[in-house]
Structure 1
Amino acid sequence: MNAQQPDWPDPDLLRAVTGRLGAAPPLVFAEECDRLRERLAGVARGEALLLQGGDCAETFAGVTADAVRGKLRTLLQMAVVLSHASGLPVVKVGRMAGQFAKPRSSPVERRGALTLPSYRGDAVNGQEFTEAARRPDPRRLERMYEASVATLNLLRAHVGGGFADLRQVAEWNEEFVAGSPSAGRYARRAREVSRALAFVRASGADQRTLRTAEFFVSHEGLLLDYERALTRTDERTGRLYATSGHLLWVGERTRQPDGAHIDFLSGVHNPVAVKLGPGTEPDTVLRYLDRLDPARTPGRLTFVVRAGAERVRDVLPVLVEKALAEGARVGWVCDPMHGNTVTAPSGHKTRAFEAILDEVRGFVEVHRALGSHPGGVHVELTGEDVTECTGGGSPVRAEDLPLRYTTACDPRLNHGQSLDLAFRLAELYARAGDGARERPVPERPALI
């Protein structure tokens, strides 16, 4: 079952493109994927948190130094706040360098009397509502590869070149708090982060450790022609790796246990994830475990739950209990975005900040009641000042949505809303005796 695959009009051109991609250098390396598996094993064991975020759909035009830097900065700021509050290291994974394709609920879009193929992301066709733009073009797969190379180059340069310096990140957070209407609520946490980092520096910690960060990339493994072309055999072990990204996930529309996407992920050694919507049956979770993680190895499989704020407290417990009963050691992560999408009177798709926060709150409550680990969050965000989701500390109103609504698909949290969410999550994750506990040691240095 090859769900959500484009109807490529020229099979010969597709074969030529995938042939060239098959001979191209890998985007990521097996050793990096193995390192992420080790980090995600910590999430599965309750020893770390996962922060995964980025654009709903990347665009070729959006691959600029400012845009990449803005998303990275936002995730670094969020990670410092969450790590300080929880006392745990935060595994940072971007929805970047590959998130150029999107599944769609309908293969076609109608406007008036005209019916054209739906926009499936820049990897497949164009956003303009014309016959030429909407025709699937396999040459775009090569443009996706090139855009991913550019993004990875920028990320590697930033995380290894001082941009991720923890002191600088703490200063960014203090600047955010100073200008936030919620300053009173967040100020103490921001000051504590800065004091903790000052102590670490004064204690003689390796300065390079404080100036660099681990950062990984991920995307939905949607376009199987692209993923198969970039699959490589690791010479060390003989194992297959999807070298298009460190972590690939299967979405709600392609997660059929007997489908082609699950089959593909079952054959690669990367860490993988599956999105679980509100209709997920507990027995289906067991099928994913058997297909994707038969050895029950921590770090191999992450379940990303997207139930919606109104249903998460009912849906999540039975899924977690089923997995626990099987002895599975998987990571449990909350996607509070997709289950809370609504249409505003203006016709814009949007998400309310309070609904997003409430789903995460319910996610944490369920895990604490069950004695399991709420492993982190997976959010759609940008470092730009967009007006796509409503609410937040500097609230975006419904009437503001048309002002800066630039997403290629679904609405994203802007920079301020993302940091609002991080500080609110910090309150949820803070342990008892918050002010006196030992602070986390900064991560060891590593490039992507």
Structure 2
Amino acid sequence: MSQASARDGVPAMTGATALPPLVADGECELLRQRTADVAAGRAVLLHVGGPVEADGQIGREAVREQLRTLTQMQVILTYVTGLPVVKVGLIAGAYHHQAAALNLVRALTAGLGPDLGEIPWGSAGAQVDARHRDQMSRIARGLAFLKGYGLTRLSRGGEVFAGHDCPGCAGCATAGHLLWLDAGLTDPDRLDALVRAPNALAIRLGVEVEPDRILRLIDWLDPCREPGRLTFVAGMASDLLPPLVEKVRATGAEVCWVGDPGPFEPGARLRAFVEALRSVGAHPGGAHVTVSGPRGAALDLVLDLADALKVGARTPPS
């Protein structure tokens, strides 16, 4: 593996032969269709990351547990908001780890969707904060009702897309469906490689982001204004969002807005994110959540998001 490829975690080149792609163009196109629904307010995007590696290996049980948590978060969001959830997992980095993780995800999600009756909802409910336990009890009762009719399998359970941290080089497009990059990326060759990539793109927005820089990225990476091509992951203060959202809207770009609450008071920050987007008539598209430790913390966060999305929600466009 070349030094650059090893550092960036992208497929290496052996002579003139690249390692096999990990995702297909058709899968990337399907994700772009789903993110277009998010941008239009017809769906919610849930991007989940967390450790699944131990002793240099991708663990089957760790991947399975993350998928269970992701499924529970999906059910909570859909139950409360009435919207479908687009699931993206950021679970590995370097090529061989990404390949192992994707193989496990595909094996664990093949065939019928997961049986919700096999997920321990009772124990998960006991882990969440007291303020959310009534909601978890209502969801458990709803699932018990569906189980009585044999309706506990998700129809789209196998749709779990892979996120991949991408420095902008061409090989990244083969390693994940949703490519993550920083708003500070300025190298024209790397930006041109991303323009040619079939993937949806997620751009991190930190506190230091300049609106003019974001507008230039839109013109470069989304010249045709394709709905859902770009996702902005906002880690900034909520009061900075409304003017930025309005400037982006003025370009004609239909983007996904996703909140990144960070480790401190994440529930309150997600609620502030939702309120900031709604204050200018935009759709808060979802959240980026890091799952580590007990499952209850992740479920608390998604319950906060679900409650915030439910309040003042408008009827989704047809």
The amino acid across from 2:290 in the alignment is E
1:269 match? 198
Equivalent residues of 1:85, 1:430 under 8 A apart: yes
Q: Structure 1 residues 265-274 or 16-25, which shifts more?
A: 16-25
Equivalent residues of 1:19, 1:229 under 8 A apart: no
Q: How far off its partner does 1:84 sit?
A: 1.2
Taking structure 1 as reference, are residues 424 and 17 closer, same or farther at Cα in structure 2, changes over 3 Å only?
Answer: closer
Q: How far off its partner does 1:36 sit?
A: 0.6
- How do 1:13-24 and structure 2 match up within 5 A? 17-19=12-14, 22-24=17-19
In the alignment, is residue 335 of structure 1 matched against residue 264 of structure 2?
no
In the alignment, is residue 178 of structure 1 matched against residue 126 of structure 2?
yes
In the alignment, is residue 39 of structure 1 matched against residue 30 of structure 2?
no
The amino acid across from 2:180 in the alignment is W
The amino acid across from 2:267 in the alignment is L
1:168 match? 118
Equivalent residues of 1:34, 1:270 under 8 A apart: yes
Provide the aligned C-alpha RMSD in A.
3.2
Q: How far off its partner does 1:286 sit?
A: 1.4
Deviation by residue 1:4-41 (Cα, 9 ceiling, x = unmatched):
xx966x9xxxxx95126944322111111111111100
Q: Whole-Å Cα distance in 2 between the matches of residues 313 and 186 of structure 1?
A: 24
In the alignment, is residue 193 of structure 1 matched against residue 193 of structure 2?
no
Equivalent residues of 1:49, 1:376 under 8 A apart: yes
In the alignment, is residue 215 of structure 1 matched against residue 215 of structure 2?
no
Equivalent residues of 1:166, 1:210 under 8 A apart: no
In the alignment, is residue 79 of structure 1 matched against residue 81 of structure 2?
no
Taking structure 1 as reference, are residues 66 and 7 closer, same or farther at Cα in structure 2, changes over 3 Å only?
Answer: same
Q: Whole-Å Cα distance in 1 between the matches of residues 164 and 41 of structure 2?
A: 24
Of 224, 244, 247, which residue of structure 2 is paired with 1:322?
Answer: 247
1:247 match? 178
The amino acid across from 1:428 in the alignment is A
Equivalent residues of 1:364, 1:374 under 8 A apart: yes
The amino acid across from 1:247 in the alignment is L
- SS of the equivalent of 1:375 reads strand
Q: Whole-Å Cα distance in 2 between the matches of residues 29 and 328 of structure 1?
A: 26
Equivalent residues of 2:57, 2:97 under 8 A apart: no
Q: How far off its partner does 1:167 sit?
A: 3.1
Deviation by residue 1:94-113 (Cα, 9 ceiling, x = unmatched):
002xx42xxxxxxxxxxxxx
- SS of the equivalent of 2:78 reads helix
Q: How far off its partner does 1:336 sit?
A: 1.6
2:290 match? 380
Q: Whole-Å Cα distance in 1 between the matches of residues 168 and 238 of structure 2?
A: 33
Equivalent residues of 2:124, 2:295 under 8 A apart: no
Equivalent residues of 1:257, 1:284 under 8 A apart: no
- SS of the equivalent of 2:276 reads helix
The structure in which a higher percent of residues are helix is 2
1:25 match? 20
Stretches of structure 1 that go unaligned for 5 or more consecutive residues are 1-5, 11-15, 101-143, 231-241, 338-350, 386-413, 439-448
Quote the sequence identity (%).
41
Taking structure 1 as reference, are residues 57 and 290 closer, same or farther at Cα in structure 2, changes over 3 Å only?
Answer: farther
In the alignment, is residue 296 of structure 1 matched against residue 296 of structure 2?
no
Q: How far off its partner does 1:268 sit?
A: 0.6
Deviation by residue 1:200-223 (Cα, 9 ceiling, x = unmatched):
556676x76458331011111137
Q: TM-score, normalised by structure 1?
A: 0.62
Taking structure 1 as reference, are residues 191 and 17 closer, same or farther at Cα in structure 2, changes over 3 Å only?
Answer: closer
Of 277, 300, 309, which residue of structure 2 is paired with 1:420?
Answer: 300
- SS of the equivalent of 1:93 reads strand
Deviation by residue 1:305-354 (Cα, 9 ceiling, x = unmatched):
111xxxx22211111010112222100011122xxxxxxxxxxxxx33x2
Equivalent residues of 1:220, 1:251 under 8 A apart: no
Equivalent residues of 1:85, 1:431 under 8 A apart: no
- How do 1:355-434 and structure 2 match up within 5 A? 356-382=266-292, 385=293, 414-431=294-311
- SS of the equivalent of 1:52 reads strand
Q: Whole-Å Cα distance in 1 between the matches of residues 155 and 116 of structure 2?
A: 6
Stretches of structure 2 that go unaligned for 5 or more consecutive residues are none
Q: Whole-Å Cα distance in 2 between the matches of residues 204 and 272 of structure 1?
A: 38
Taking structure 1 as reference, are residues 366 and 56 closer, same or farther at Cα in structure 2, changes over 3 Å only?
Answer: farther
The amino acid across from 1:327 in the alignment is G
Taking structure 1 as reference, are residues 93 and 420 closer, same or farther at Cα in structure 2, changes over 3 Å only?
Answer: same
- How do 1:95-134 and structure 2 match up within 5 A? 95-96=90-91, 99-100=92-93
Q: How far off its partner does 1:250 sit?
A: 0.5
2:185 match? 256
Taking structure 1 as reference, are residues 302 and 432 closer, same or farther at Cα in structure 2, changes over 3 Å only?
Answer: closer
Question: How many matched pairs?
Answer: 311
- SS of the equivalent of 2:14 reads helix
